[in-house]
Structure 1
């Protein structure tokens, strides 16, 4: 694993809180990766996420792909701020961070929402910090900047069942990852049970797509604890009762719904676990509680490497974050570069076909090599990165 191109730490002059930026790699002079805000965020965490972004970009690049494809991968980067997003100082801190990072955002770092932040909030803070856009560094690579920006704005304005398209495409990709794994294993959707940690943007959309495909969500966890019902939860009701942070109002629970401790989702009697909230959720101390057949990483880095080894040894398949949650990032660029238009059905169709092909390729590689899906995904990325470097440059 190579060292990142750039890593920096910023200290806020008003609060003393720290923010970080890691640029893992530039491709065509640009790197892509979101900005997260959470208490306890570290430079090591941000570096791991930046490396993951490099791999996500590489995995969505097919060197022998369709000649009409316009999206060419970028490098990987990530930003992080050590602060609780609910803190009264959080928004001012975000604005000052972006003001300090303005030269990098203007020049080579395209960013957007991640854990703890919404795109609306990032956009508002970016404007206040004097930025044209949080993704303005990519504009010089576009054939028609005005048309591309209009197309992306139109796509962000689309709503499906009252929810923004941008909040749904990532969960669509996670759900398709689950379905691809089930299909390869010959497991029917009906009767397959799911537990999720996190009912925010990614977890909520994943739950919606999975239930609409016939799977049964029996447990969800938020900051208040786990809501469980072995007969299945009313996902739509729970989603409608969330606050801005993905916390469910318990007043909507039905008589058969039970409130359990926060970690109860982990040991739920299910086939599929979807950690869709924080990093490092599954460690060596709690991995033994997992009875699911699959762990599907909707969050970034939720399974520690030291936990994945014993999980794999007892037959639990971990579908890695660099594959599973990559659809949101890819959708931005497919739309901006013009591979798809500002159309929800076209977006979902492209996400489904692309994610199904990618997950299938990763699982096939894992079977052929006798490795884990994560090792297989890393191997595929390693195959593609030199090709990307040869064709578009490699700055590190």
Structure 2
């Protein structure tokens, strides 16, 4: 793959803190990728995430499906080096969006990512003078007013008090787990799961896996790990979360254990779902993992050298570029009109699409004798030239 099209570092004139934008590729003149905020965010991190977005978009492009209205975009990503709980964070976010306004207006569509909610991004974008954080895609729509209303309606849909936009990503992660279990002939009942992070993605994943019959035996948040070998009451824990995914410990049952923050790694479970920060699994801790599958709900949670060691031990890592791509795809399926603002339709479409991707990736890995990540990269390598030929490199 080629070098990024645009790499930009911005310094806030008020605080001196930095923000970044990397546009990896444009398709039809537009790119897609969220905006994250975390202390220690770097340009290299954002560049890796932008490349990942190019791959996610390409993976959801099906050249043999002429019925699909959503035609994937290019990949991009934004990042701000700041603790999202810092009192100065919101003002920094507004100034960043104001500085990035020319890019957002023309060719970068963005939204919530680590450390930010969509409501916060929308509020800051309006204050920064933007029509929308995804306005660059509007010229590609057949009927802009209808499409925008459809997406607005979808964001208003709630299931059991949780927004549909918070659930679709976890639905895709959960379906990735189920597809891997089905392919291995492993029953859902009795399969144990540990989840790092109980925010939007991790919480929804735990919810869907529990409803599918799996047992979530450990969850980790910023305060530590909550574990119960007989299974946690996920619905209660989800209700007891704050906006940052931290669980109120007064909601725990007597048999629930409070363990150190990294205890989820060595939990006696078949499936680990890192759904919080990047770089969570490295060469210093991968040896503690006894799970059979690691399913990357977060972006870049497993470092490459750690993944090599895990693969040598027979631990299968299902990569982020496939596993957590459902949220981004749902935005576009809805906006372009492949699905309506309906939860059942969204979940069914997400499950079908994610299962097809997982099955294709694992079949390619088996055929090529490679890891799932290498197989996903190979599928992308096949599709990008087709996308470039059909839609051009930039516009």
Cα distance in 2 for partners of 1:84, 1:244 equals: 14
1:4 aligned partner: 4
Gaps of 5+ in 1: none
- 3-state secondary structure, aligned to 1:236: helix
Q: Secondary structure at the match of 2:70?
A: coil
2:332 maps to 333
- Partner Cα distance (2:130, 2:181) in 1: 44
Q: What is aligned with 1:33?
A: 33
Q: Is the 8 A contact 1:182 1:189 kept in 2?
A: yes
Q: CA RMSD, aligned part only?
A: 0.7
- 2:184 is the counterpart of 1:185: yes
Partner of 1:55: 55
Q: Kindly state the Cα deviation for residue 335 of structure 1 after the two structures are TM-superposed.
A: 0.3
Cα distance in 2 for partners of 1:305, 1:320 equals 11
How far off its partner does 1:395 sit?
Answer: 2.8
Question: TM-score under structure 2 normalisation?
Answer: 1.00
Distance 1:75 1:353 in 2: 23
Q: After superposition, what is the alpha-carbon deviation per residue over 1:289-320, rounded to whole angstroms, capped at 9, x for unaligned? A: 00000000000000000100000000000000
Rounded to whole Å, the distance in 2 between the matches of 1:161 and 1:252 is 19
Mapped to 2, the partners of 1:328 and 1:193 lie a distance apart of 25
User: Conserved in 2, the CA contact under 8 Å of 1:5 and 1:395?
Assistant: no
Equivalence map 1:1-396=2 (5 Å): 1-65=1-65, 67-395=66-394
Task: Report the number of matched residues.
Answer: 395
3-state SS of 1:262 partner: coil
TM-aligned CA deviation for residue 2 of structure 1: 1.9
Local SS of the residue matching 1:221: strand
Contact persistence 1:108–1:137 (CA under 8 A): yes
In 2, Cα distance between equivalents of 1:363 and 1:394: 29
In the alignment, the residues of structure 2 paired with residue 290 and residue 255 of structure 1 have an alpha-carbon distance, to the nearest angstrom, of 27
Give the secondary-structure state (helix, strand or coil) at the position aligned to 1:168: helix
Structure 2's unaligned 5+ residue stretches are none
- Name the SS for the 1:79 alignment partner: strand
Separation in structure 1 between the aligned mates of residue 3 and residue 279 of structure 2, nearest angstrom = 22
State the distance in 2 between where 1:193 and 1:220 align.
Answer: 12
Say whether the 8 Å CA contact 1:12–1:93 is kept in structure 2: yes
Query: Distance between the aligned counterparts of 1:92 and 1:393, measured in 2?
Result: 38
Question: Any idea what the Cα deviations from partners look like across 1:230-288, whole Å, max 9, x if unmatched?
Answer: 00000000000000000000001101000000000000000000000000000000000
Structure 1 residue 68: deviation in Å?
A: 1.6
Residue deviations 1:205-239, cap 9 Å, x none? 00000000000000000000000000000000000
Distance 1:120 1:395 in 2: 30
